[in-house]
Amino acid sequence: MNFFTDSETFISLGNVSIKWYTITLIIGVVLGYLHFSRHMKEHGYKQKMIDEMYVLGIVGGLLIGRAGWVLENLKNYSLYAWYVFAFNDGGVEVIMSLFGMGLFNYHYTKKHDMSFFRSMDIATTSLLIVMMVAQIGRCFSYPKTWISVLLCWMGFHIIWFFYRPYKPGHKRGDMTAVGLLWLGTVRLIAHVFKLDVLADNCLIMCFFAEIGGILLYLRNRNYIAPKPVILFDLDGTLLDSEAMVIHCFMHLFEKYGNPEDFTHEKQLEVFGPPLKDEMEKLFPNRDPEVMVQEYRLYQNSLPGKGIVKLLPNTEIVLKELKSRGYTLGIVSSRLTESCEMWLKEFNILDMFDIVLGRDMVIRPKPAPDGILKACELMNHGHDSVIYVGDNVSDVKAGKNAGVYTVAYISNKEKMDKIRKAEPNYVIFELGDLMNVLQDDHAWTYEQI
């Protein structure tokens, strides 16, 4: 076993040697995975899907990237055909690798109702990380390659920190287009100035990348985002049920405690958190499950008594949205049966394609489970969704799912806390939602 036998070799074991390029390539793949995984999670995707996409990307990148390399050096491989499969010669065309990643993941994203370009924008920057780190292994024997490494580092920072944040006019897929243009330019510079021995025959692929990037960017300029699915919280968003909720808690305080203990501050706190959590806090000496059941039993006796009303313009706005072809749904912390009961009370149940309550998910808001489950049941990805709610937990659930969040401030005492949660948009009456829908961007939390 010998280390560093030459400038290209990390370790030699008999006739087998491991190159520096192999080591840095593996490190680059790991760092690229961490980048891809972290930011796909921020988009609301499960780890299993992220892992599957990354593996597909590696397979597609290697196979198509290798095919591109062989085409660039076809004269040599026509003489020694079996070398086509000798990946240890370092021959993978990075531009074709990006196309390979896209080709293999296109089918996956369509099958799972995902936005292809939303994932490719992250995959493109992940590839830049892989390429940047992998090339470091060749810098020991070809010092000029450090310039290519620096150019990849610059490209990643320009795309990720300058172009990723949404600005008017930015479209989904633009990061992929700019990435193609940058990769083509970096490879062209490496070819012209002899910065990398693996860029000797890359002219065709460079022009292919430049043309592909320009065509994709032009395509995006004419692309109009599809209509988003609009999901609503129920209490405080469509129903003016605040008086009912307080009335039900007051009933329990009258029966099991002191009504004077249910102060105004405590009344504000019961909106949003799971009901069981509030029972544990307000009635620590009683079984929270029993208290929840008694709360719900009493509440079920209230329909028809006029305690609950629709918030202003709710029915008008819902009818207008349906007439414009929007898909509507409910994601609430209330039980599904209770949601349907109150929607029937006001004859608006038929306006919703999905009604999903607390009982249909494992984790309550602010976890994203309800929003993601609703999209799954509707066979609609969450890459184009608006979630409208009136509590901090609603805003956080929308952000955790990576969807566009609209905070409806029906109670101004909640305003400061809701604004600190940083929703995408704040409205003070449901009709203002129509103004939101006039915007032209992708309906996700980062807007692209």
- Structure token digits, residue 235: 């209490």
Amino acid 255: pLDDT = 87
Amino acid 78: pLDDT = 61
Architecture per CATH, 229-238+308-436: 3-Layer(aba) Sandwich (3.40)
Amino acid 22: pLDDT = 85
CB 164 within 8 A of CB 156: no
pLDDT digits (tens, 9 = 90+) for 19-35: 888 899 899 999 999 99
Q: Mark 249-280 as b/e (b = at least 16 C-beta within 10 Å).
A: beebbeeeeeeeebeeeeeeebbbbbbeebbb
Amino acid 276: pLDDT = 87
Match 């083509």 to its residue by tokens: 184
Is there a cis peptide before residue 274, judged by omega within 30 degrees of 0? no
Amino acid 329: pLDDT = 98
How many angstroms separate the Cα of 266 from the Cα of each of 111, 198, 261, 273, 360? 47, 67, 8, 12, 28
Amino acid 6: pLDDT = 72
Amino acid 269: pLDDT = 82
pLDDT digits (tens, 9 = 90+) for 54-64: 999 999 998 88
- Structure token digits, residue 273: 């958190």
> Could you give the CA distance from residue 131 to residue 152 in angstroms, rounded to a whole number?
7
Give kind and range of the element (H or E) at residue 180. Answer: helix 174-192
- Structure token digits, residue 157: 């920072």
Amino acid 71: pLDDT = 78
Q: Do you know the residue count of the chain?
A: 448
- Structure token digits, residue 427: 């409205």
Give residue limits of the domains in the chain. Answer: 2-221, 229-238+308-436, 242-299
- Structure token digits, residue 111: 């099958």
pLDDT digits (tens, 9 = 90+) for 228-253: 999 999 998 999 888 888 888 888 88
- Structure token digits, residue 240: 């003016």
Assign 84 to helix, strand or coil. helix
Give me the residues of the chain with pLDDT under 50, please. none
> Could you give the CA distance from residue 394 to residue 400 in angstroms, rounded to a whole number?
10
Burial class (CB in 10 A: 0-12, 13-18, 19+), 390: buried
pTM higher than the cut 0.75 = yes
- In the 8-state DSSP scheme, what is residue 259? G
Residues 6+ apart with CB under 8 A from 25: 130, 133, 134, 137
